[in-house]
Amino acid sequence: MDKENSKWKLMIVEDEHPLRNALMDKFKNEGYQVVGAQDGEEGLKTALAEKPDLILLDIVMPKVDGLTMLNNLREASEWGKNVPIILLTNLNDPEKVAEAFRDGVFDYLVKTNWKLEDVVKKVKEKIAKIPVEEE
């Protein structure tokens, strides 16, 4: 477990319970603080309450989809406009990818193309670029 990682809070918004649990466990084992949500409605509420440093967000979910959550988050607050988001989805639609990048996502990962270790590596790359706030 990496103590450096413990200062970072990640959020996983994913409706597939086994995948959400696997991601949360993987990141907890890496030392991160982790919160989760099972749909975009819960995700938006949790994100605004917890203010994670980075969000892994699925697109196709019940209640509120990931792109709607992304738009609502970007409009909700100054923090929401800037929080780094990585989309992790099975949807491989060029129009959705373009829309996501217009909305300021950091990356777009198609689930079937990525192993858990690769997702962790991508998150670490992004977190390394986030300026550390002095307390």
- What does the buried/exposed string (b/e) look like for 18-39 if buried means 16 or more CB atoms within 10 Å of the residue's CB? eebeebbebbeebebbbbbbbb
C-alpha–C-alpha distance, residues 36 and 65, integer Å: 15
Residue 44 has pLDDT above 90, yes or no: yes
pLDDT for 114:
79
Architecture of the structural domain at 7-29+36-129: 3-Layer(aba) Sandwich (3.40)
The tens digit of pLDDT for each residue in 49-72 reads 999 999 999 988 889 998 899 999
**Phi, psi values for residue 33, rounded to 5°:** -80, 135
Question: Is 80:51 a contact under the CB 8 Å cutoff?
Answer: no
**Phi, psi values for residue 11, rounded to 5°:** -125, 135
Q: Taking the domains of the chain in order of start, what are their residue ranges?
A: 7-29+36-129
Residue 32 has pLDDT above 50, yes or no: yes
- What does the buried/exposed string (b/e) look like for 118-133 if buried means 16 or more CB atoms within 10 Å of the residue's CB? ebbebbeeebeeeeee
Q: What is the pTM of this model?
A: 0.87
Q: At what angle do helices 66-76 and 94-102 cross, to 10 degrees?
A: 10
